[in-house]
Structure 1
Amino acid sequence: MAGNRTSGSVIAITGGARGIGAAIAHRCHALGATVAIGDRDDAAATGTADALGDRAHGYRLDVTDEKSFTAFLAAVEKDLGPIDVLVNNAGVMWVGPFDEEPESAAAAMVAVNLLGVIRGVRLAAPAMRARGRGQIVTIASAASLIAPPGESTYAATKHGVLGYLTGVREELRGSGVTISAILPGVVDTELAAGTATGAATLLSPDDVAAAVVAIIDRPRFLLTLPKYVGPLTAAARLLPQRLRDAVLRRMVPDQVAAVDGSTARDAYEADHLR
């Protein structure tokens, strides 16, 4: 892959039927990639692929199930060839006070956001290492670096993802396999319905898709969106605790307050977390 590294690549995307995943599929496909769209809603995955046309294929994928993920990767390789890039995009989020969070919601976030990423890396990376090339891009979150009130368990899963990727990246050093993570703020999707953005601008799914293409074209480990979030959080960590708290409270949204009394998230959470 030279020049536009996306062109000619086989790119597999988890949670690819809607939102950020669909935007990634659209942008990569437009740049000449062959895209495999995996989603637990296989009809939606097929529909998104059909709308793109040639070089787009939809598959059923449940990232919480080992057999499903193994079958997805095998089917993509059989149908399309070796996977150049796996995009770990699937994610779910419950928002509200920590002591009102249903245990089922916490379990779902750990299963999808953390164990789903671990499973994807563990299943996809060995074949890439054997070929001496490949990239795994994970859509993590700015919550990998901060923890907004109301998103405590979600942030815990994203902190876990960043820790896991940091260790695996070192294990794969020199293998030809690149580990990358994109850490966006709040994105305008159903996952973020009813939440606040804090000091940052609301991102679009295509903003994240553009970041995926950028990190494929110029591989690196971390990319925050907006870009200033990374340096700002790093600088805040150097401050005394009281000053750090003051800075972060101005920067990070209070999602408990944002969703208090709101029904904006009811449909999403009923569909994804119960």
Structure 2
Amino acid sequence: MGSAKEAPRRVIAVTGAARGIGLAIAERLSATGNRIAIGDLDAAAAVAVAARLPGEAAGFPLDVTDSASFRSFLDAVEAQWGPIDVLVNNAGVMWVGSFDEEPEQATHRQLEVNLHGVIRGVRLTAPRMRARGRGHVVTVASAAAKLAPPGEATYAATKHGVYGYLSAVRAELRGSGVELSVVMPTVVDTALAAGTSSGAVAMLTPDDIAKTVAAVIARPRFEVTVPRYVNPLVRVVGLLPDALRAALYRRMVPDQVAALSENRSARAQYERTAVTAEDRPGER
């Protein structure tokens, strides 16, 4: 009796992978025999993470807000292992609070990491994949790509932008052999979500997202929400009259301004280091 077909061994590059969701993704994908490139603003942490992964892995410095840095990251990975099969755009930051109190620096940082960082990753990686007729870019976005929680105005804008950008690029790449996927989770228990509320749904774990990313790589599809029911629920609610839709959203979607008033100290350290500081250890 023949043995079960083994999953292909891939070269997978993950951004923001020294902690949080990115780390969970790297751990899960490494355990199944893939070669994992850990890209992170905190280069020392990236190297340390790679050293303790169960499979073949390497850590690299990566600033997703800098095109030269992103290009150097991709070049270094390909020099070590050959063409990248999968890029996981994971790096992200979030400032929480009233829209009119958001510091300009926080607005800029979110746009640069969350939106422009994804655009850079796709623009620099997808043409390489298209040239050889295969490849996959998976972006970890947020349910905020479909919803807009109070207190996350700019963050939601970046995630809406990511969804729109990927939708357009996907149309351009149709038939090229390059797959695009966007994973949109609700609130995940990481430093990024410190002090926030998960609303009507249970808070997710980083490994919940890692499992989803692994499944999407194994069986590509464009958009996946976590939990899965979020996307169809948003579509149904979107058909309702405005007043009823707004009332349901108030029950479903967490008000992060209200949550912050009770948990401001829980976010202070994260936002100082990841969003508003000049010397940052990394994202997510």
User: What residue in structure 2 maps to residue 269 of structure 1?
Assistant: 271
Q: How much has 1:32 moved relative to structure 2?
A: 1.0
Look up the equivalent residue of 2:265 and give its one-letter code: T
For residues 145-181 of structure 1, the C-alpha deviation after alignment (integer angstroms, 9 at most, x for no partner) is 0000000000000000000000000000000000000
On the 8 A contact 2:77/2:84 being kept in 1, the answer is yes
Distance 2:55 2:171 in 1: 37
2:66 aligned partner: 65
Aligned to 1:182: 183
1:242 corresponds in structure 2 to 243
Contact 1:95 1:255 in 2 (8 A): yes
Q: Indicate yes or no: 2:284 matched with 1:260.
A: no
Corresponding residue SS for 2:224: strand
Structure 1: gaps (5+ residues): none
Structure 2 residue 116 is the aligned partner of structure 1 residue 115: yes
TM-score norm. by structure 1 comes to 0.97
User: Which residue is equivalent to 2:12?
Assistant: 11
Whether the 8 Å CA contact 1:38–1:45 is kept in 2: the answer is: yes
Letter in 2 for 1:13: V
Partners of 1:50 and 1:57 lie apart in 2 by 7
* TM superposition shift of 1:263: 0.5
Distance 1:59 1:199 in 2: 38
Query: Does residue 74 in structure 1 map to residue 112 in structure 2?
Result: no
Q: 1:134 maps to which residue?
A: 135
Shift >3 Å, 4+ stretches: 2-5
In the other structure, the counterpart of 2:205 is 204
What amino acid is the match of 1:166?
S
**Structure 2 residues not aligned, in runs of 5+:** 277-284
Deviation at 1:4, TM superposition (A): 5.7
Q: Hey, what's the Cα distance between the residues in 1 that align with 2:59 and 2:143?
A: 29
Give the drift of 1:95: 0.3
1:188 deviates by 0.3
2:89/2:121 contact within 8 Å kept: yes
Residues 70-120 of structure 1: CA distance to partner in whole angstroms, max 9, x if unpaired?
000000000011100000000000000111100000000000000000000
Q: Is the 8 A contact 2:186 2:203 kept in 1?
A: yes
SS of 1:95's partner is coil
- d(CA) in 1 for partners of 2:184, 2:55: 30
8 Å CA contact 2:109, 2:275 repeated in 1: yes
CA contact (8 A) 2:33 2:55 kept: no
Deviates more, 1:142-151 or 1:49-58: 49-58
The aligned amino acid for 2:272 is A
